[in-house]
Amino acid sequence: MSTHAGRSAVLPNGGFCVWLTGLPSAGKTTIGRELLTRLRALGYHAELLDGDEIRQGLSSDLGFDRAGRESHASRVTYMAKVLARNDVIPIVALISPYRTSRARARAEIGHFVEVYVDTPIGVCETRDVKGLYKKARSGAIREMTGVDDPYEPPESPEVVVHTTDATTAQVADRLYGRLVELGWLPRS
């Protein structure tokens, strides 16, 4: 296992959760990884809780119907809460299509930054990182968010990022800047 002993940069207001929500292939994981790399390089404890990876760890039993998605979001929420209260920065990259699940996460975690990765579905479908749009359009899979399952966009997220006309580095710059503005990271 890799330990991060030696990381000891201090957060001005303790741990907080960065919750990236958006359609499949919107860019959540890519942005999350970039932010994770930057935070660790600066000496912070941070973890990427990526939807697909964490399903293996916590939710291999769950499906992608509404109940399965909500249970998964609630387990991720629990884990993020425990991390954040120990001064770790959990970065959640999860479609999390339902407003109610995200509202529960916000209420339970408290220190919460909702980031809407606002990539138009046409762009997501062109990227189709995991080939899921293609499968959904052909009927090979069901319950695909954006195709035959709803995505409820955030109404008042702390941050909205656009990925179509910006590099990953530019998006991460902007997100980092907002975290400073919001008081979660210190001004350098």
Gap between the Cα atoms of 8 and 23, Å rounded: 34
- Cβ 63 to a copy of itself shortest distance, Å: 12
* Residue 61 found at the interface with a copy of itself (CB under 8 A): yes
3-state secondary structure of 165: coil
Q: Could you tell me the end-to-end alpha-carbon distance of the chain, in angstroms, rounded to an integer?
A: 31
Laid out side by side, the sheet with 46-50 consists of: 46-50, 89-93, 17-21, 112-117, 159-161
Which residue among 75, 106, 127, 135 contacts a copy of itself (CB under 8 A)? 75
Here the tokens at position 33 are 């990884």
* Residue 88 found at the interface with a copy of itself (CB under 8 A): yes
- Cβ 51 to a copy of itself shortest distance, Å: 15
Gap between the Cα atoms of 137 and 34, Å rounded: 31
Say which residue the tokens 């503005």 belong to.
181
- Segment 107-136, which members bind a copy of itself (CB under 8 A)? 108-111
* Residue 81 found at the interface with a copy of itself (CB under 8 A): yes
Q: What one-letter code names the amino acid at 185?
A: L
- Cβ 38 to a copy of itself shortest distance, Å: 16
Residues forming contacts to a copy of itself in the complex (CB under 8 A) are 1-5, 7-8, 10-11, 13-15, 45, 47, 57-58, 60-62, 71, 74-75, 78-79, 81-88, 108-111
| Active-site amino acid positions | 96
